[in-house]
Structure 1
């Protein structure tokens, strides 16, 4: 059974990292590489200066896994290449107060 196409967006928490053509092309290439490696047909990739939207025919949880892998790979690449903060940013910790006790 084929799933309808799903669009899922990964957005930078600050700044416009995809305004840099080299960063944008690396992110788009990584989308296609993950698709090839996982046997997922990438229906479309759209970018703006602060986000990438991917359209794939997968269940919602599979689409989430796809974009999580994209985030992991591109964060590591960006931090290694440019040093410092990851490409997509680091969310503020939430619900972790119990670890402080």
Structure 2
């Protein structure tokens, strides 16, 4: 059963920046390859990434948590700003479609 998960910035449109957008996309693809999870779809908007995986929902949650962790660290190190995705209130970290 496919799982669709979305990671959204709390403020602004960070994926308008070409380097940031490319890094987020390539990181998502690398995580899927590394973990052996089939990436069915990947959509980027200026403020979010939506990923559909051939996996259970819990795998999707773990996937997007890892994507968030890696890209926040990269963004903070590169731009001395961040985190890229913001810090959400507890319980509002993930959205499921």
Q: 1:37 aligns with which of 31, 34, 40?
A: 34
Instruction: Please state if 1:83 is matched with 2:97.
Output: no
Q: Which has the larger radius of gyration?
A: 1
Residue 92 of structure 1: CA displacement?
Answer: 4.3
Gaps of 5+ in 2: 92-97
How many pairs are equivalent?
91
TM-score, length basis structure 1: 0.85
TM-score, length basis structure 2: 0.88
Q: What RMSD in Å do the two structures reach over aligned CA positions?
A: 1.3
Q: 1:19 aligns with which of 16, 25, 35?
A: 16
Gaps of 5+ in 1: 95-101
Give the 4+ runs in structure 1 shifted more than 4 A.
Answer: none
In structure 1, what is the Cα distance between the partners aligned to 2:32 and 2:17?
A: 23
Secondary structure at 1:66 match in 2? helix
